[in-house]
Amino acid sequence: MTRDVSFEGSAGRDATGQRFPGAREDRGEFAEAARFYLQLEPRQLPSRFLYDALGSALFDAICHLPWYRITRAELALLQRHAVAIGQTFQDGGRVVELGCGSGEKLAALLTHAEVPGVHAHLIDLSDAALGRSVQALSAIEALDLRVTTHQATYEDGLLALPADDAHPTLLAFLGSNIGNFDPPGASAFLDLMRAAVRPRDYLLLGADLVKPERELLLAYDDPLGLTAAFNKNLLLRMNAELGADFDLSRFTHRAVWNPAASRVEMHLVSLAEQEVGVADAEFRFRLQDGETIWTESSYKYEPASIRELVEPAGFVQRNQWIDEAARFALTLFEAV
């Protein structure tokens, strides 16, 4: 295995990869996002700020919970259908994964597809995630794999992908990360992905499906309290990084299924009327008792609605594999 490392910038985008008004970089960017989004009605924070080191560790733990089935269902589908998926990057093709996490899924796909000479491009904001993914992929020695990492937002990573006219490309966007975009954001992001590939390249999309409300709420408000910790860590992070003075004992986690919008929402609910300051963002605000800060949306789909969402961007659906028990879909599209 060979490894190339390239770094690209990451400034000024929210959870959906979009710029927010007045974005700057790093901590300044977080402060400006906090100031902008916490003053919207309803108050909110972009979900991408959930993923500092502790938030990422909590999310990894969530993926092991019996009630959160996305990760295991997707891994099983990737293993089961790896040979069919592998047809798309045969002949020394490349696989581009957006948001590689631990690299476990790509490693499973490549191991079971058994396609030699693949060039894997990993795009992730987290250097730790890139490092773990490289390690996971280095275990596959037989396949003469080449790995290039791009520490970047999805958008910057896609824009920086070198053109490759000679080899087929499979773009993998897994884990139902698409579900953290609102519908216009998802469409805009699909346009961006389509612009990064050529006709006859492929997109592999993992997306969680609508299921009974009880199951959805257990997945996003688990009895062990990991998702609550994952959500409340955002307040801890603002205290540590932005000089905020959130009293964590005066907030609780709430997950809500919004059937009209087909999304699970995560909120932080204020347990009292209180005033909070965010020093580095130079503002204070009052929360009413029961008022919420909306921290994440996780859209859920029907098998047909995935096709309806993706095809207008310039793809046609070629295959769809569904785990009926977990209600999760892996859908393969060809760029046209």
Compute the least distance from the CB of residue 99 to ligand AVI, in Å: 8
* Closer Cβ to ligand AVI, 12 or 175, answer by number: 175
In order of 111, 118, 313, the CA distances from 141 in angstroms are 10, 12, 36
Q: Which of 227, 233, 292, 331 binds ligand AVI (CB under 6 A)?
A: 227
8 A C-beta contact, residue 160 and residue 8 = yes
Q: Which of 17, 157, 179, 206 binds ligand AVI (CB under 6 A)?
A: 179
* Closer Cβ to ligand AVI, 151 or 180, answer by number: 180
62 binds ligand AVI (CB under 6 A): yes
Q: Which of 16, 180, 233, 317 binds ligand AVI (CB under 6 A)?
A: 180
Binding residues for ligand AVI, how many (CB under 6 A)? Answer: 12
By CB under 6 A, what part of segment 290-309 binds ligand AVI? 296, 298
Closest listed residue to residue 45, CA positions, set 218, 207, 177, 236: 236
Shortest-Cβ-distance residue relative to ligand AVI = 298
Helix or strand run (H / E) with residue 65: none
- For 253, the token pair is 């986690």
| Number of residues that this document lists for the chain | 336
220 binds ligand AVI (CB under 6 A): yes
* C-alpha–C-alpha distance, residues 221 and 215, integer Å: 10
Strand partners, 293: 268
8 A C-beta contact, residue 300 and residue 236 = no
**Which one of the spans 10-18, 131-139, 173-181, 192-200 is the region binding ligand AVI (CB under 6 A)?**
173-181
Compute the least distance from the CB of residue 239 to ligand AVI, in Å: 21
8 A C-beta contact, residue 146 and residue 1 = yes
Quote the crossing angle between the two packed helices 226-242 and 26-38, to the nearest 10°. 110
Compute the least distance from the CB of residue 140 to ligand AVI, in Å: 25
Distance of CA 53 to the CA centre of its chain: 15
Compute the least distance from the CB of residue 256 to ligand AVI, in Å: 13
Q: What are phi and psi of 100, to 5 degrees?
A: -80, -15
Q: Which of 17, 168, 175, 185 binds ligand AVI (CB under 6 A)?
A: 175
Compute the least distance from the CB of residue 231 to ligand AVI, in Å: 8
185 binds ligand AVI (CB under 6 A): no
Q: What are phi and psi of 162, to 5 degrees?
A: -65, 140
Q: Which of 149, 153, 177, 233 binds ligand AVI (CB under 6 A)?
A: 177
- For 159, the token pair is 């824009």
Q: Is the dihedral of CA 45, 46, 49, 51 positive or negative?
A: positive
233 binds ligand AVI (CB under 6 A): no
Give me Rg for the CA atoms of the chain: 20
* Closer Cβ to ligand AVI, 71 or 149, answer by number: 71
> Residue 254 corresponds to which amino acid?
R
8 A C-beta contact, residue 206 and residue 76 = no
**Which one of the spans 4-12, 157-165, 176-184, 193-201 is the region binding ligand AVI (CB under 6 A)?**
176-184
> 3-class DSSP state for residue 299?
strand
265 binds ligand AVI (CB under 6 A): no
Tokens 């490289």 correspond to what residue?
134
**Which one of the spans 18-26, 162-170, 174-182, 241-249 is the region binding ligand AVI (CB under 6 A)?**
174-182
* Closer Cβ to ligand AVI, 155 or 296, answer by number: 296
Judged by the rule CB under 6 A, the positions of this chain that interact with ligand AVI are: 59, 62, 70, 175-177, 179-180, 220, 227, 296, 298
